[in-house]
Structure 1
Amino acid sequence: MASETVRLVRPVLRAHRRNLGVLAAWSLVETLPVLLSGTLVAAALDRGFLAGRAPYGLVLLLAYGVTMVIGTLGTRQAMPHAAAIVESFRDTLISRVVHAGLHRAVYPASGAGYSGGATADVSTVARLTRQVETVRQISGGLLLSLRGVALAMGAAVIGLFALDPLLALITGGAVVIAVVLTALLSRVLRRRHVALLRAQEELAGRAGPQLTGIRDVVTCGAWETAGRTVGGGVDAEAAAAVASARAGAGRIAVVAVGTRLPFAIILLSSSWLVSSAVLTPGALVGAMFYLLQGIEPALRAMVQTVSNMGLQLSVTLRRLSDFIDVPPRPPSGTGSFPGAGAGAGTGTGTCTGTDIALRDVHFAYGPHAEPLFSRISLDIPDGSHLAIVGPSGIGKSTLACLAGGLEQARSGEVTIGGIPVAELAEEELRRRVALVPQESYVFAGTLRENLALLRPDVPESELDAAAVALGLAETVRRLGGYDAVIGSPGLLSQGERQLITLARVYVSEARVVILDEATCHLDRVGEERVEDAFIARPGTLIVVAHRITSALRAERIGVVGQDSLTVGSHDELLGMSAEYAELIGYWSFAGESVEPTAIPRPLI
């Protein structure tokens, strides 16, 4: 099997040694009928029916039936252990595919070696996960078939040896030749299968432009040229298909060499074997039984099912291997986050020098897409509180992520503390900038594990302070404390899940916090409480606001328009931003008060 298959499978097999041992033991039980079949049939004939002892012969045949029942039990007991290995292999592949997809999405340049393109979009990952399911099905069938083939052949040869060593030698030699021929044929089949796939891709590449430009072909009368272009691809694909089919036909010869040749030898020499007392009539029938009921089905499975599955598995795994073997991620900047290590979470240390600046930033979702922002600039002083407002879909979240270094500008510059984001150490940037999205994430585990995800060593006193500040204390009491297990996060309300996610960031080391409609499942009182807590927390706060009351709590408000950004206080914006006035009118019509309330200012 291909080296990439072995490389991917070896860690899984190493981790499941016990399952492999138990699987092997039950597989031996499963082959008991093959091992004893010929011997019991021979004894039933020689010592039973031919000796005039029909009841004894029937007892031996009944014993053969019992071995078949035992073999079926072995198959049943082997299945769970085979499934454990296959499912673990599938989980490993899924994990590596998703990891590689995320790697290629975050580090697009590192995926340049992948034949599917420089980056991995959602459709690529989805297609590859479907291929992983194919691998799971094939590997499961291959594991079961391979062990059945190997053990059945071995059991049949051992049974033949018990009847007559000469027969075992003849049959064993033929089987060895068949296995060697199968290995050689598999290499040919693989090459021709790959050639067929390439011919099909070449045909698709030739036919696509012709079909797309069919009107031009008709207009120019270029039927013959188009026909020759596509016809060459059709001829090449047909030739590759015929070559692959011819190679596949070689499997018939392998079966003939492995089973029909020794069968013919034994059948032609049967008269001499019996007359010279080399074999008894029962032993002769038993030998035929081993050949036709043991070796031939196993050999057919090997050259047809196993080789087909092995070929498909090898090709599919090569495709997956090309994707998941991503190169080391490109080195990130080595600069330290300004003020890193000065203080964390709700500690008392001060952190200075994290002014955020956007200069002539241009951003679009693709090289040919319409720009969302073009040459916009924005200053966010350290420790300030900025609310971003605007119509739905205008780019508020994108602007917030650009400011936090979580999105990369196509051109222009984003700096934190005067250092370009691209030059900052990525780990430090991800640790010091936290985004809380609208969709909250709570995983199965203890409440403490959920809250301490971003800062595992957070003291319980800070968890208590966060719970009180954010309004999470009642949920903590209801669940039974921080060590209570959240077995099913879906049983929590959306508001509770949102508060847990917010508290996780509140106690983290993040110096810049972005709340992207992160309080949408809280009522106005809960939203005000959360935002007041983050305002009082040391650091910079950026809020993507969906309520006017949220915007009014900010020192400054950024209004995102169509390729525009206007920043100012509430009163300033009413006089200079038509977009803001229109938005205020919409919010007022929806019943929200536009009167600012007294709020605590940031404690820096």
Structure 2
Amino acid sequence: MTAAPPGPSGQAGASPGRFLRQWLRRDPGLLLRLLLWTAVESVPALLAGRLVATAVDRGFLHGAPLVGLAWLAGLAFSSAVGAYGARNALARSGEFVEPMRDALIAYTVERSLERAVTATRMRHDLSGVARLTRQVEIVREAAGSLIAVVCRFAFAFVGVCLGSLTLAPTAAVLIFAPVLLTVAGYVLAVRGLARIQLRSIVAAENLAQEAWELSAGLRDITACGMEESAFERVDRAALENVCAHEMLARMNAVRTMVLGLGGWLPLLLILLWARWGSAGVSAGTTLGILTYVMQSLRPAVQALVQGLGTTGIRLLVTLGRLLEAKDAGQRPTPDHAERPVTLPDLGVTAKEISFSYSATGNEVLSAVDVYVGPGEHVAVVGPSGVGKSTLAAIMAGTLAPVSGTMKWGGVNVCDIPQETRARLRAYLPQEAYVFTGSLRENLVYLCEREVPDAELDRAAEEMGLGDLVREVGGYDTALKPESFSAGERQLIALTRAYLSPARLTILDEATCHLDQPAEARAEQAMRRRPGTLVVIAHRVSSAEAADRVLVLDGTNTEQDTHQNLLTRPGLYRDLAGLWQPPGP
């Protein structure tokens, strides 16, 4: 069996109708056997009314109950024959749909892999999971059910009409006309109902995609302060899913109305005919006509309406979704996303910043003033627990100060949308985040364009990541985050920030797990990178290389160059002395 399901010329992109017709023609002998067994299943529909009429007219009304029972025994026998036919028809239907399911699974996997290796921008497409686990099963179940329903209705309708004609031609017309109008009207409404079903399927795919992206990127979302934006995206997808299912519920109301017309209107007409238009018609004939309507026709109409209205539409829409030649699950990438974006360097200005983690707790920061000029490199130093990491998070926009203002380029950070903040700055906490995926995906995660290998090579050599790239076997090697040391994870995260378009980079002891030469190399590369750099320093070498040093001591701050701060007594000179290695 080939991986791709049969379609026009064996190509993907076949319409659902053509696909189903071609699939049915793949084995004419199997189709013929299915029709024959369905005909056997429909024997009770053809004989029920005639047998009941004969049992009443020739048996019970003539005082011959044994004769009547004998004819009813024939009805029981015909029901047994019908059950045997139904059993075999179901088996033949399974022979159709099981190979179809296997082909669609193979095709779906093939298309998902093709999207993964040919996408211009790497992206996890979890809508393929929805196709493979849910939509293929919908097609399998719906195809088998619809084939059975259509065949049963066709044979039952023909049987009822023929049987009614042998009993009372006028009654046959009263049965035939409303059923024909019902089926025709429902077919006209199918296109609109299919659009509603398609909207429901797409909404389910989008919700699955958004939920996966949220769960996979929780740490990045928190680090970038994008919780609100991420929640809004998932909430929009969930609301769209709810709206789509509400429309499906309204569709059920339409189906119920159609079912009433096709299933109950013939019964009403027959009852009116029996009261006023059946002169000369025997009681057995009337009862036989009612048997045809109640036992055979109404269940067949009900199954057809429900089958076309639910199963049939789900089959056509879902199968069309699976057979789309274009990537239905892949969201279009905006035009600007493939072009490098040049962002301005950002200056950081903090005025009277205060922060505490609870209303009753002590202030971690109190009336702190900070200024970092555009393109400047500033190191933040201070004793442990003084609030350096808290200040870094506030400068990055992931924490909001209790009081005071934090501005980037003269704009209050709280007025900048979360997604814009993520593009403007890169914030690296002490514990670096490496996610499961390829090394390439980890490195270009913050990029807004496709990054060629040559650029990745330059960044890796600049940051000292080259040896690790060669060790793991290249950029497309799948990573296991737990297999890397803390220092290796920091190098990957630093290179990710180096490649990003951000023009404000904040390193909160993001090199603390590196040895001194590796730390110096990484920080030198970050300084050569365009943009503003703020480093929470834990070694004197980091402060020496900075344009200015911000000394943080609770309520007191001091800013100056490294050399100037060493010339006067104070906290910085004490810290610098502690950082210096002991003499021989």
Q: TM-score w.r.t. structure 1 length?
A: 0.47
Q: TM-score w.r.t. structure 2 length?
A: 0.49
* Relative contact order higher in (CA < 8 Å, ≥ 6 apart): 2
